[in-house]
């Protein structure tokens, strides 16, 4: 009977997928006919420019020249590589202009995609950091959560998350306009329209089967997955794999995309500038708030629900240190994350050509410096106050600096980025201690402090340190001018950032808490105490992470016997 039930379930799964795909194909809008090339119209009279182009074509290297090879690169890439719409007329000015436009978009596509690939690789870094900081008996389970969260998030984002977040985000000229994403659900309050969620792009079908949309989907998807994987670290060593899976799917489908829309998809936070005159609206360049704070705050909600690991706290409430099993995995993971951050921050220009995007160099340097000073802050704090330069807090210091600079990286100077990173490095140590010793929230990897506390600090620092020198096409969020913080004369930008922080703590936390309370009712987040003591690898995953290791017995205190 059970077998029959299982088979039926699998059959249902295949059938439903087929149905969904079938619907998608059925509703596929016919591809619009390609616009007729400009040169196909009646030939225009020859102009001096046409004459110059013909002259240049005449001087282009011949086939015979090219066959000799081009060691200096001087004759590769000339007018002969520009396609002519009318071969008889040769290359015309419209042909050149079209090629220039294509080149701009091509550069931006390649930039955004390559940066997206870098961000995707951060998943490996997260897996190593989180697994390295947990015990060997849970290694397989922790690695598997980090592996599977990519799939859960990607699928959920494809079926609905992307539409909610970016369905109304049309207008980005860097990626060709993204005009298929022009449907934002908005409501009118006090005579102003406020965007709430996007409505186009589910399953990437119909008009959203578009080259530009695919690029932005890939880039935004890997950001979303970063947020999801933050929660797995905070809840490691006691989170039921089933509950983790369902929670991650819902976060990728709903929680993350909602806030993402409000900040990046044309939603109400980005409209604070145009609607109520708060600076340039809520500004979060690469996602300290959208990605890291959302992940960190969700992690806090789930951590509160799930409770501390057995043995973490004694009867008197004092905390025990539960050491991770692999220093090398943790620190190599941190380096992989730092490398991936060069996709995260500079990639958030969504292009390298036009509209002030040459600032990518500054953004990359800001990113490096904040990571550097974050590490310095954490190491010096731990060394001076605790006597040793602790490896886990050093790694967390690097990540904290990177998290904090993520929102302001596009708007601040290198000196400001150093200050932001240094504060983050100290803040992460204080925050870890606060959550562990005061709130009694057990976060094995420090994810709440690294991503939550420092994500909020990053959002705030935009309102303080943005220096007004950035110029991404002369405006931001539809407000003319550069993003300028309190220290450079615009206090209203700080208010916009505070509204964002209030939304993160008040709304995102509430949504996460309510969803996960519901999951607690239906599924239960936590594994049994027996499973937890034995380690989650065998009961939950069926295999040890390191089957040939001989486990040392854990101290009695970590077995709850103190």
In whole angstroms, give the CA distance from residue 425 to residue 390.
13
77, with CB counted inside 10 A (0-12, 13-18, 19+), is: exposed
Sites for other proteins among residues 227-286 (CB under 8 A): 238, 240-242, 245-246, 249, 253, 272, 276-278
In whole angstroms, give the CA distance from residue 199 to residue 434.
41
Minimum CB distance to other proteins smaller for 68 or for 315: 315
Give yes or no for residue 182 binding other proteins (CB under 8 A): no
Smallest distance, Å, CB 555 to other proteins?
14
In whole angstroms, give the CA distance from residue 404 to residue 455.
6
For residue 369 the two structure tokens come to 């410096």
Minimum CB distance to other proteins smaller for 94 or for 539: 539
Smallest distance, Å, CB 53 to other proteins?
48
Smallest distance, Å, CB 230 to other proteins?
17
Give yes or no for residue 528 binding other proteins (CB under 8 A): yes
Phi-psi sector, 194: left (phi>0), alpha (psi -120 to 50), beta: beta
Q: Which of 28, 102, 179, 510 binds other proteins (CB under 8 A)?
A: 510
Q: Which of 358, 415, 514, 557 binds other proteins (CB under 8 A)?
A: 514
Axis-axis angle for helices 360-386, 391-406 (nearest 10) = 150
Site string for other proteins, 134-173 (x = CB under 8 A): ---------------------xx--xx--x----------
Q: Which of 96, 419, 492, 546 binds other proteins (CB under 8 A)?
A: 492
Give yes or no for residue 78 binding other proteins (CB under 8 A): no
Give yes or no for residue 448 binding other proteins (CB under 8 A): no
Please report the sign of the dihedral spanned by the C-alpha atoms of residue 271, residue 277, residue 278, residue 281: positive
Smallest distance, Å, CB 400 to other proteins?
19
Query: Is the separation of the CB atoms in 407 and 284 below 8 Å?
Result: yes
In whole angstroms, give the CA distance from residue 309 to residue 506.
27
Bridge pairing between strands 184-189 and 192-198:
antiparallel
Give yes or no for residue 432 binding other proteins (CB under 8 A): no
Give yes or no for residue 523 binding other proteins (CB under 8 A): yes
Smallest distance, Å, CB 3 to other proteins?
9
Q: Which of 133, 263, 427, 495 binds other proteins (CB under 8 A)?
A: 495
Give yes or no for residue 9 binding other proteins (CB under 8 A): yes
State the chain's maximal CA–CA distance in angstroms: 93
- Nearest CA to 396 among 324, 332, 446? 446
Alpha carbon 105 to its chain centroid, in Å, reads: 22
Minimum CB distance to other proteins smaller for 404 or for 504: 504
195 backbone dihedrals φ, ψ, rounded to 5°: -75, 140
Structural Rg of the chain based on CA atoms: 26
Count of Cβ atoms closer than 10 Å to residue 11 Cβ: 10
Smallest distance, Å, CB 201 to other proteins?
9
- Nearest CA to 401 among 307, 306, 464, 334? 334
In whole angstroms, give the CA distance from residue 444 to residue 436.
10
- Nearest CA to 223 among 349, 127, 341? 341
Give yes or no for residue 503 binding other proteins (CB under 8 A): yes
For residue 193 the two structure tokens come to 């329209």
Minimum CB distance to other proteins smaller for 13 or for 339: 13
Smallest distance, Å, CB 206 to other proteins?
9
Give yes or no for residue 205 binding other proteins (CB under 8 A): yes
Smallest distance, Å, CB 250 to other proteins?
9
Alpha carbon 423 to its chain centroid, in Å, reads: 22
Give yes or no for residue 439 binding other proteins (CB under 8 A): yes
Q: Which of 67, 190, 384, 547 binds other proteins (CB under 8 A)?
A: 190
Minimum CB distance to other proteins smaller for 278 or for 334: 278
Site string for other proteins, 310-349 (x = CB under 8 A): xxxxxxxx--------------------------------
| Stretch of 46-54, 124-132, 378-386, 532-540 lying at the interface with other proteins (CB under 8 A) | 532-540
């Amino acid at each position: 009977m059970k077998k029959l039930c299982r088979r039926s379930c699998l059959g249902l799964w295949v059938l439903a997928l087929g149905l969904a795909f079938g619907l998608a194909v059925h509703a596929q809008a016919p591809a619009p006919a390609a616009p007729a090339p400009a040169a196909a119209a009646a030939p225009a009279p020859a102009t001096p420019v046409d004459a110059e182009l013909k002259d240049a074509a005449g001087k282009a290297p011949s086939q015979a020249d090219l066959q000799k090879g081009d060691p200096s690169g001087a004759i590769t890439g000339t007018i002969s590589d520009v396609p002519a719409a009318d071969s008889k007329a040769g290359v015309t000015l419209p042909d050149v202009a079209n090629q220039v436009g294509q080149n701009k978009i091509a550069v931006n596509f390649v930039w955004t995609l390559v940066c997206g690939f870098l961000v995707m690789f951060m998943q490996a870094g997260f897996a190593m950091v989180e697994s390295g900081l947990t015990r060997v008996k849970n290694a397989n389970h922790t690695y598997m959560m980090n592996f599977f969260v990519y799939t859960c998030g990607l699928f959920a984002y494809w079926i609905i998350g992307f539409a909610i977040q970016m369905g109304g985000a049309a207008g980005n000229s860097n990626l060709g306009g993204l005009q298929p994403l022009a449907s934002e659900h908005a409501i009118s309050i006090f005579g102003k329209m406020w965007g709430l969620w996007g409505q186009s792009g589910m399953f990437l079908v119909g008009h959203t089967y578009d080259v530009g949309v695919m690029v932005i989907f890939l880039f935004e998807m890997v950001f979303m997955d970063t947020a999801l994987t933050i929660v797995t670290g905070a809840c490691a060593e006691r989170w039921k794999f089933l509950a983790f899976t369902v929670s991650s799917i819902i976060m990728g489908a709903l929680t993350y995309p909602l806030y993402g829309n409000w900040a990046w998809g044309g939603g109400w936070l980005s409209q604070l500038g145009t609607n109520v005159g708060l600076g340039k609206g809520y500004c979060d360049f690469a996602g300290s708030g959208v990605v890291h704070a959302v992940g960190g705050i969700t992690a806090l909600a789930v951590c509160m629900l799930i409770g501390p690991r057995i043995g973490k706290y004694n009867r008197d409430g004092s905390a025990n240190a539960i050491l991770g099993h692999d220093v090398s995995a943790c620190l190599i993971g941190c380096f992989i994350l730092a490398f991936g951050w060069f996709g995260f921050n500079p990639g958030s220009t969504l292009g390298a050509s036009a509209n002030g995007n040459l600032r990518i160099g500054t953004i990359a340097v800001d990113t490096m410096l904040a990571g550097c000073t974050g590490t310095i802050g954490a190491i010096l704090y731990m060394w001076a106050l605790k006597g040793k330069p602790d490896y886990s807090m050093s790694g967390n210091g690097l990540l904290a600096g990177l998290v904090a600079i993520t929102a302001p990286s596009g708007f601040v100077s290198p000196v400001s980025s150093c200050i932001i990173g240094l504060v983050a490095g100290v803040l992460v140590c204080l925050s870890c201690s606060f959550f562990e010793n005061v709130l009694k929230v057990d976060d094995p990897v420090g994810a709440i402090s690294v991503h939550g506390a420092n994500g909020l600090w990053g959002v705030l620092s935009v309102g303080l340190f943005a220096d007004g020198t950035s110029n991404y096409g002369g405006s931001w969020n539809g407000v003319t001018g550069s993003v300028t913080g309190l220290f450079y004369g615009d206090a209203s930008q700080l208010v916009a950032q505070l509204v964002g922080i209030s939304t993160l703590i008040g709304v995102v936390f509430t949504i996460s808490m309510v969803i996960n309370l519901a999951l607690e009712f239906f599924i239960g987040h936590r594994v049994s105490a027996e499973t937890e003591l034995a380690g989650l690898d065998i009961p939950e995953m069926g295999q040890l992470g390191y089957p040939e290791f001989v486990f040392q017995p854990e101290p009695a205190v970590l077995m709850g016997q103190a």
